[in-house]
Amino acid sequence: MLRLVTTSICLYCQRAQVTPLLLQRTCSSVTQEENPLVIDALYDLSVDISKVRKLKGWVLRQKPVYVNETVTLLRDIGANETVIARVLELHPEAILCKPEQMELQKQLWMSVCANNKDLVGIVEKFPASFFTSSSNHDNQKANIEYFQTLHLNKRIISKLMASAPQSFSRPMKQNQEMIQTLQKTFLDLGGNEDNMKVWLQKLLTQNPYVLLKPSDALCDNLTFLHNRGFTSGELLHLLSKLRGFVTELNPESMRLTLSYSQEMFRCTEDELRRIVLQCPALLYYSVPILADRFKGLLSAGVSVEQITETPTVLELTTQIVQFRILKLRSYGYDVCSGSLDVLNGTKKDFEMSYGKLRLRRERPIFNPVAPLRTED
Tens digits of per-residue pLDDT, 2-15? 344 344 444 434 43
pLDDT surpasses 90 at 93: yes
Mean pLDDT along residues 323-330: 88
Percent of the chain surpassing pLDDT 70: 86
Q: What does the longest C-alpha to C-alpha distance in the chain come to?
A: 114
How many other β-carbons are positioned within 10 Å of the β-carbon of residue 324? Answer: 21
Q: Is the model more confident about 242 or about 191?
A: 191
pLDDT at residue 358, rounded to an integer: 64
CA distance 310 to 295: 16
**pLDDT confidence of 95, banded at 50, 70, 90?**
very high
pLDDT in tens, 203-233: 998 888 899 988 888 999 999 999 999 999 9
What 3-state class would DSSP assign to 252?
Answer: helix
> Radius of gyration (Cα) for the chain, nearest Å?
30
pLDDT surpasses 90 at 134: no
**pLDDT confidence of 348, banded at 50, 70, 90?**
confident
pLDDT in tens, 237-277: 999 888 767 788 899 999 999 999 999 999 999 999 999 99
What 3-state class would DSSP assign to 256?
Answer: helix
Q: Which ranges of 164-214 does DSSP label H, i.e. alpha helix?
A: 165-169, 172-188, 196-206
Q: Is the model more confident about 233 or about 375?
A: 233
Backbone phi, then psi, for 239, in 5-degree steps? -60, -40
How many other β-carbons are positioned within 10 Å of the β-carbon of residue 151? Answer: 10
Q: What is the Cα 361 distance to its own chain's centre? A: 39
**pLDDT confidence of 304, banded at 50, 70, 90?**
very high
Exposed, middle or buried: residue 344 (CB in 10 Å: 0-12, 13-18, 19+)? middle
pLDDT at residue 233, rounded to an integer: 94
pLDDT at residue 359, rounded to an integer: 56
Q: Is the model more confident about 285 or about 6?
A: 285
Mean pLDDT along residues 173-190: 94
CA distance 113 to 96: 24
Residue 251, preceding bond cis, omega within 30 degrees?
no
Q: Is the model more confident about 135 or about 238?
A: 238
Beta strands in 55-164 (DSSP E): none
Report yes or no: 88 and 94 within 8 Å, Cβ to Cβ: yes
Report yes or no: 162 and 172 within 8 Å, Cβ to Cβ: no
pLDDT at residue 328, rounded to an integer: 86
pLDDT at residue 337, rounded to an integer: 83
pLDDT at residue 30, rounded to an integer: 42
What 3-state class would DSSP assign to 148?
Answer: helix
Report yes or no: 35 and 61 within 8 Å, Cβ to Cβ: yes
Least Cα distance to 188 among 244, 226, 236 occurs for 236
pLDDT surpasses 80 at 356: no
pLDDT at residue 369, rounded to an integer: 53
Helix orientation angle between 196-206 and 172-188, rounded to the nearest 10 degrees: 120
Contacts of 278 (CB under 8 A, 6+ apart): 311, 312
CA distance 222 to 216: 10
Q: What is the Cα 51 distance to its own chain's centre? A: 24
**pLDDT confidence of 360, banded at 50, 70, 90?**
low
Mean pLDDT along residues 102-128: 94
CA distance 212 to 181: 13
Report yes or no: 139 and 172 within 8 Å, Cβ to Cβ: yes
Rounded mean pLDDT of the chain? 85
pLDDT surpasses 90 at 144: yes
Element (DSSP H or E) covering residue 276: helix 269-278
Least Cα distance to 131 among 156, 165, 159, 154 occurs for 165
pLDDT surpasses 50 at 318: yes
**pLDDT confidence of 25, banded at 50, 70, 90?**
very low
**pLDDT confidence of 362, banded at 50, 70, 90?**
low
pTM for this model (two decimals): 0.77
Percent of the chain surpassing pLDDT 90: 66
Query: Could you give the dihedral angle defined by the CA atoms of residues 294, 316, 245 and 261, in that order, rounded to the nearest 10 degrees?
Result: 10
pLDDT surpasses 70 at 172: yes
